[in-house]
């Protein structure tokens, strides 16, 4: 088997998970290099790695470059992405800088692998929340065309990175110790990761306000634009409300879908059971449905609460949960690389 020189750019939560998944899946790496803004040694899954400072020369001789930008992260792929392509590397970018670039396929391997056929050396991961949305919608859309999507998300703090996880931990300790529990202690903040306390709280803000869609936040706009691009439905009616919740890992989504024709919940359930990368947990009578606690650390996208919508004659409601760091980021990128290797580049 041919083996490849691989580099992971970034060593935050997503970067570390990429390295771990490469090892777990016995990825055919001849060498594995990790780049970041400063040199250091990092331990990942019991293995010590020397982290090198990223520069243009870091991509000499590299076959595959995985950029591990987290939610809203900027810079690395903007600075080095296309330069790495020029040096002969295949770039797979988890950041959002080039997702809507017409040159760049936006890919979920189980959904639109054919988009890779015209890649120009640079492929983007969709947003973590978009990945689990299209994973659940695509098998149904393939059977009966989707007309309208309304989604509310409940997004874990790991999507923002290590600092947000620490903030939730610290605020929880303070709250339980009865420190800083007066709401007036926490006005809209400028020195925290979030503008409000996240422990025992939630708020409908993920990202910054969009200039393109007035009063929408950027995460909500990503849903609209990315879903349309992946499903190749430029006029798909879709609306999103994204909520940050005090959960450490795994995003949840309440989805209402209106189809052009009728599809029963039983038909939808069977379609999803037979779909790759999907695990159906749908026994509401036994209180069995996906939860972030159970899904964290799993590769699949979990779907439950599949039921007829009470308003739309051709509508269904779904509850979808996935590990936003694994399938929502690191695993999806590695799967893209595996697929390209399988197809011969």
Of 175, 178, 192, 137, the closest CA to residue 316 belongs to 137
pLDDT above 90 (res 189): no
Quick check: 95 and 15 in contact, CB under 8 A? Answer: no
CATH number of the domain encompassing residue 42:
3.40.50.720
Same-domain pairing of 242 and 197: yes
Strand partners, 95: none
Strand bridging mode 315-322 / 301-308: antiparallel
Quick check: 61 and 3 in contact, CB under 8 A? Answer: no
- How large is the average pLDDT for residues 105-127? 97
Of 31, 78, 90, the closest CA to residue 54 belongs to 78
Looking at residue 140, what is its pLDDT? 98
What pTM was computed for the model?
Answer: 0.94
Active site residue 233: no
Same-domain pairing of 162 and 88: no
pLDDT above 80 (res 255): yes
pLDDT above 90 (res 101): yes
Looking at residue 178, what is its pLDDT? 77
Segments forming the whole domain that contains residue 147: 130-323
Of 259, 275, 239, 272, the closest CA to residue 309 belongs to 259
pLDDT per residue as tens digits for the range 159-170? 999 999 999 999
pLDDT above 90 (res 344): no
Of 109, 147, 112, the closest CA to residue 314 belongs to 147
Mean pLDDT over each residue of the chain, to the nearest integer = 94
Looking at residue 76, what is its pLDDT? 87
Looking at residue 72, what is its pLDDT? 43
Same-domain pairing of 143 and 122: no
pLDDT above 80 (res 259): yes
Same-domain pairing of 276 and 143: yes
Same-domain pairing of 303 and 156: yes
Tokens of 232: 């190749």
Same-domain pairing of 155 and 282: yes
Same-domain pairing of 85 and 186: no
pLDDT above 70 (res 183): no
Distance of alpha carbon 168 from alpha carbon 159, whole angstroms: 13
Distance of alpha carbon 194 from alpha carbon 157, whole angstroms: 10
Distance of alpha carbon 60 from alpha carbon 84, whole angstroms: 8
Residue 45 banded pLDDT, cuts 50, 70, 90: confident
pLDDT per residue as tens digits for the range 117-131? 989 999 999 999 999
Quick check: 248 and 158 in contact, CB under 8 A? Answer: yes
Looking at residue 187, what is its pLDDT? 57
Least confident window among 41-45, 139-143, 222-226, 279-283 = 41-45
CATH number of the domain encompassing residue 244:
3.30.360.10
Same-domain pairing of 113 and 87: yes
Chain Cα centroid distance, residue 147: 24
Same-domain pairing of 177 and 261: yes
Point out the catalytic residue in the list 119, 128, 141, 242: 128
Point out the catalytic residue in the list 119, 141, 242, 251: 251
Torsion of the alpha carbons at 302, 307, 311 and 313, rounded to the nearest 10: 110
Same-domain pairing of 185 and 219: yes
* Count of domains for the chain: 2
- How large is the average pLDDT for residues 279-289? 98
Same-domain pairing of 19 and 83: yes
Residue 201 banded pLDDT, cuts 50, 70, 90: very high
Active site residue 242: no
Same-domain pairing of 119 and 237: no
- How large is the average pLDDT for residues 210-222? 95
């Amino acid at each position: 088997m041919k083996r490849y020189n691989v580099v992971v750019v970034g060593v935050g939560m997503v970067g570390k998970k990429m390295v771990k998944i490469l090892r777990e899946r016995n990825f055919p790496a001849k060498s594995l290099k990790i780049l970041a803004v400063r040199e250091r040694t990092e331990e990942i899954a019991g293995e010590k790695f020397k982290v090198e400072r990223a520069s243009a020369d870091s991509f000499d001789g590299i076959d595959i470059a995985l950029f591990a930008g987290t939610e809203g992260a900027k810079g690395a792929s903007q600075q080095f992405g296309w330069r790495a392509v020029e040096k002969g590397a295949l770039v797979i970018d988890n950041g959002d800088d080039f997702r809507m670039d017409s040159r760049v396929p936006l890919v979920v391997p189980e959904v639109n692998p054919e988009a890779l056929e015209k890649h120009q050396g640079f492929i983007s991961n969709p947003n973590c929340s978009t990945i689990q949305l299209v994973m659940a919608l695509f098998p149904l859309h393939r059977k009966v065309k989707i007309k309208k999507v309304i989604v509310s998300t409940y997004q874990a703090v790991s999507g923002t990175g290590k600092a947000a996880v620490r903030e939730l931990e610290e605020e929880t300790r303070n709250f339980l110790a009865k420190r800083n529990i007066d709401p007036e202690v926490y006005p809209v903040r400028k020195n925290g990761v979030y503008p409000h306390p996240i422990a025992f709280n939630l708020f409908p803000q993920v990202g910054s306000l969009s200039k393109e869609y007035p009063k929408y936040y950027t995460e909500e706009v990503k849903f609209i634009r990315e879903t349309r691009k992946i499903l190749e439905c430029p006029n798909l009616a879709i609306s999103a409300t994204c909520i940050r919740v005090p959960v450490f890992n795994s995003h949840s989504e309440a989805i209402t879908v209106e189809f052009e024709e009728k599809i029963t919940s039983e038909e939808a359930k069977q379609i999803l059971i037979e779909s790759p990368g999907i695990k159906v947990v749908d026994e509401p009578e036994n209180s069995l449905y996906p939860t972030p606690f159970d899904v964290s650390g799993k590769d699949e996208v979990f779907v439950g609460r599949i039921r007829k919508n009470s308003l739309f004659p051709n509508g269904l409601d779904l509850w979808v949960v996935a590990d936003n760091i694994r399938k929502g980021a690191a695993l999806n990128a590695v799967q893209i690389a595996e697929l390209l290797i399988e197809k011969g580049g």
